[in-house]
Structure 1
């Protein structure tokens, strides 16, 4: 209890009881007499006002705090009618740390002793301090919500660009007005234009902005662009140190430190960019890329708490991006390997038309061992092959190449299809190749009306007649897959009218989870040639119809004979 400099001013309550009751509360409490002079000030009010308690006593609010609108008229009204009132006051006090105006909300009550009015008591809280605490709490809740959302919204696929897009979509507008993720160019991607000497090149994997800025930021390019950064700009500095870079963009010099080229400074200024954060997206092996966050216009600068949250989001995304990067690397190598092995078959004769497609199931499934081939034989005949090595990845692609090479070697021996399969089965078994494969062979004679077909566990071929309302499935017995050593293959002769299209495919085209394979294959009877008879358009239609939902790679091949110049259309498929 502070000393009372005015002993002739009686306190209406025992001082010791008063101190025990309100001396320790965090709310400011003051007691004033009927002339609104301070009788008592608790420690909290002393701190709020920034003036020692003893300097309050015996003086009015206006005397102690001349820059405060204390609303003494309202206090006098409380003394007059005894009705408690809530009063909001504002102004500046010695306790203020800056020039900003402060606000208080107080509740005032009349005090009476033995029926006599002796003064007024006020309980005061600083409204701005309370609002700031609420805003801080709201920011904390928002940051926690972002971190929680990251667990479910980032890393839903093994695609790097999708993961980067998920990251920028999470932080805008929750943490920034504009966000971008730039990653190192993949080391197995097709070659792009060379970077100028001394220039640091990154690939923009994703970017987004709030609606009001999205179109204006579009001038910076789109996802997939290669960005060349000048030496010393923000992104190279971030990656060189593997540390975040925070920039307050208040002048052109600071804007220039962020811009990847000098020409961007004027653009950044026009966009109202005022603060930026660049964070390395890193794993143990080193940085993968950079997350860039920008605030512009009326948005507040980044706070320390914002930076902490952004750092955590970048760290979480780095784990998913590392998985995606490793997958993409393996997937690209396998795909390029298969493409190099699975070259487009050349027509064995100028009058034979062939169209093919290879379609990976999706970017989350590694390439498999599907293959097709057309091999010329003696006497104008040719061998068509469609095969599928079991499994996926580089090993399946290598095994596919092994099967294809052995098949081409055996085709030179002029054997019927079932004998080729028997020889191939034995050679694979003896070679120690541990991957079985299905295979469908068709030997076509340009001068006859039949073709010879044999299957090693493969799905039946489809024959499409010109002008027919539907297709027919070849009734071909399916022997064991190659590589099992069981043998037992048969050759079946199938009627082929002039101009008939032979359609061959792998099981990825028709196999669907929960559906009987015979039902799936049966739908191929609905195939018809397009009006112009184009084989390319036929394959486009087939893949548009049967491709969605595929869980395995798809390889398809169509072929037919074209009339020789000056001749007739009697060539077979």
Structure 2
């Protein structure tokens, strides 16, 4: 080395030569150092052992090069680059020529020779030089450590001879590419294991470039490698989390989300995974905060294993889980912090508590490493997830726990969303079911059966509804409607409309007039809710079909507001869809509503439904009507069975809308249960009317009602004569109740008054109201009709 300090040392380690450069470097003149032991130049006494090792290496290999420290005369330590070479005299005696350069003063361009070799050998980057036939020529310390094979064994050999855990063919292909093209290969990544850690996969990033001689001919290839396992694992974790986002939480179902977490983590992270949630979470309730040492009830929400059927588990999904206060699950729940037990052998008893079955499972399947992570979202603790390794030989590490926490955190948000949705869905469904009729009072006029099927969990409940409303004169109203949208808003809107229909039905309005009043109501509601788009949209565009069946005349009057036409099955089984005038949906106020009247002989069937039954994602309306027609041809079957048949025939794919179905089989009243008389408008006929009514009651065996009926007939006929016009008709109907009706041609409605003690009249309707179970007024095409109902005696 140029301007190097040089010292000659004999075989006994005594300095025999000292150059001026050595004096300049170390401050000692030659007279002081010649014949002194070389060890006096050591920077510290503890360096003596290292010097002995270097001396042994020199005697074995004939020299040495590297870095070291020496002591200046003034006590300073100087970092030097050393080169030791053997020298022999004619007598065969060996001396050592030691050259050193001050590293603090040497410029970067001066690095060469042994100093450069020492730098490369100790570089933290793995380096190697291979011959054109890809055999090792030189290898540094770092690469030797990576491979776990001594340098001496690798020199002269191929990569594949000592590294069976790597894809050496692919790596050598990149080397040949660099040799042939002269273009370097940069940042080629590969994974595998080496003899340094057999069976433990690591990742490396390697770059290859060709080495050329002075003539430009390739003489070998150099490669540099760095261990990027941490970077690879971080990237793998990120990719795994991205995949988890796509695979976990695709539905708003708590149990399914928990199972998706377990399925995803098995094999990717653990051999056996359990997800245990609080019982209240499965019901959609708000989870209670941990308090004291009281453990809440847990249920197994999901589990998965590398073994088919999860034989490691002591419970099936949905079953309660026994949790012991000393178990990791309990500690994790109370602390809210994850737990890592890399080697479970010492904690199996604590993990299993006093349950011998659980202990036996742990030992049978060799569970040896455990992680327990709390499932928490939005400040609430929902449950605990456990990750176990049994077949995988490596214990869990901190990085595995971080990954488990990330997976559970993502799944926890999905579980909480599903819980919140389940609660809202259950509330909306409960609201809707509470607003739907719990019993359908068809009475003797119609036999009814119904189905309500809410849509799937994604869309929530909607506003479909139906009703059967008893009317005066033994008649019955059949109603079906549909509100736009889903959820609580739609259910609440449905309840408002159903209540309005009940109120309007009590007024005994014809179907077309009832829909007109309902349309006015919807318009007002839309105007009131104009600032709330969801509410206004639910009201506007609602549909309804209102039908009134009279068992006396066996005729049915219907009107519809944007609703599908009902299906009618005659007693012979023929199905038809009558041409009912199409009215606009409610709230538009554009066109009037029209009624149509059909004759429904005894035993006819009428089917009212919402569009969700006949319109689906796999069929258009014509196909749906055809399927409905085919199903209704089995009308002779019991109505409950027929309802199920219709639903099964039409709902062949997941629902996209709510479905309401109402089936009604008609039963007409025979002539023996109805009698009527036309009476002149003359006060003298009142007594005769009473007599006619009493004789008919005797024929029906209703003598117990004769007195009250006489009074009712007397007051109603008298009122019709005094305040009405034209002919009067008296009609008695023996049905579930005894109905007395008096009709006249006047449109004036009577009004109930509470007379004063000094009044001579005005007590007629007051008496009727006291004697009858119900009474009311209904308008007809020719005037009005006053009716009163009495309960039949129990023995009848």
Where on the TM-score scale, by shorter chain, does this alignment land: which range? 0.7 to 0.9
Q: CA deviation at 1:223?
A: 2.1
Structure 1 residue aligned with 2:631, among 527, 530, 540? 527
Query: Is it true that 1:460 corresponds to 2:565 in the alignment?
Result: yes
Closer, same or farther: CA 172–260 of 1 in aligned 2, 3 Å: farther
Deviates more, 1:540-549 or 1:382-391: 540-549
Aligned to 1:208: 304
Closer, same or farther: CA 472–228 of 1 in aligned 2, 3 Å: farther
Q: Deviations over 1:226-245 (max 9, x none)?
A: 33423343333222222112
Contact 2:139/2:151 (<8 A) preserved: no
Aligned to 1:36: none
Query: Is it true that 1:17 corresponds to 2:113 in the alignment?
Result: yes
Structure 1 residue aligned with 2:642, among 516, 535, 538? 538
2 CA distance for matches of 1:12 and 1:230? 66
TM-score w.r.t. structure 2 length?
0.54
Closer, same or farther: CA 70–388 of 1 in aligned 2, 3 Å: closer
Query: Is it true that 1:448 corresponds to 2:448 in the alignment?
Result: no
Structure 2 residue aligned with 1:275, among 328, 344, 369? 369
Aligned to 1:561: 666
2 CA distance for matches of 1:482 and 1:268? 65
2 CA distance for matches of 1:260 and 1:529? 63
Closer, same or farther: CA 250–172 of 1 in aligned 2, 3 Å: closer
Deviates more, 1:229-238 or 1:382-391: 229-238
Q: Deviations over 1:528-562 (max 9, x none)?
A: 34486132232223222322243211111112136
Q: CA deviation at 1:253?
A: 5.2
Structure 1 residue aligned with 2:613, among 491, 509, 521? 509
Runs (5+) with no aligned partner, structure 1: 30-40, 50-67, 91-124, 192-196, 569-573
Closer, same or farther: CA 301–133 of 1 in aligned 2, 3 Å: closer
Q: CA deviation at 1:170?
A: 0.5
Aligned to 1:551: 656
Q: CA deviation at 1:328?
A: 1.8
Count of matched residue positions in the alignment of Structure 1 and Structure 2: 489
Contact 1:357/1:557 (<8 A) preserved: yes
Closer, same or farther: CA 69–241 of 1 in aligned 2, 3 Å: closer
1 CA distance for matches of 2:337 and 2:413? 17
Structure 1 residue aligned with 2:499, among 379, 400, 405? 405
Query: Is it true that 1:490 corresponds to 2:587 in the alignment?
Result: no
Question: Which structure has more RCO (C-alpha within 8 Å, separation ≥ 6)?
Answer: 1
Structure 2 residue aligned with 1:229, among 315, 323, 326? 323
Q: CA deviation at 1:139?
A: 6.2
Aligned to 1:112: none
Q: CA deviation at 1:392?
A: 1.9
Closer, same or farther: CA 69–321 of 1 in aligned 2, 3 Å: closer
Q: CA deviation at 1:186?
A: 3.8
Aligned to 1:152: 246
Alignment of 1:242-321 (within 5 A): 242-247=336-341, 250-251=344-345, 254-257=348-351, 259=353, 264-297=358-391, 299-321=393-415
Aligned to 1:361: 455
Closer, same or farther: CA 21–373 of 1 in aligned 2, 3 Å: same
Q: Deviations over 1:351-388 (max 9, x none)?
A: 63221111122011121111111111222211110011
Aligned to 2:580: 476
Closer, same or farther: CA 139–550 of 1 in aligned 2, 3 Å: same
Runs (5+) with no aligned partner, structure 2: 1-50, 66-82, 86-111, 129-137, 164-192, 204-228, 286-292, 530-535, 674-796
Deviates more, 1:221-230 or 1:388-397: 221-230
Closer, same or farther: CA 69–223 of 1 in aligned 2, 3 Å: closer
TM-score w.r.t. structure 1 length?
0.73
Structure 1 residue aligned with 2:543, among 421, 425, 438? 438
Closer, same or farther: CA 11–277 of 1 in aligned 2, 3 Å: closer
Contact 1:230/1:261 (<8 A) preserved: no
Q: Deviations over 1:75-106 (max 9, x none)?
A: 9xx9xxxx96889799xxxxxxxxxxxxxxxx
Look up the SS of the partner of 2:548 in the other structure.
strand
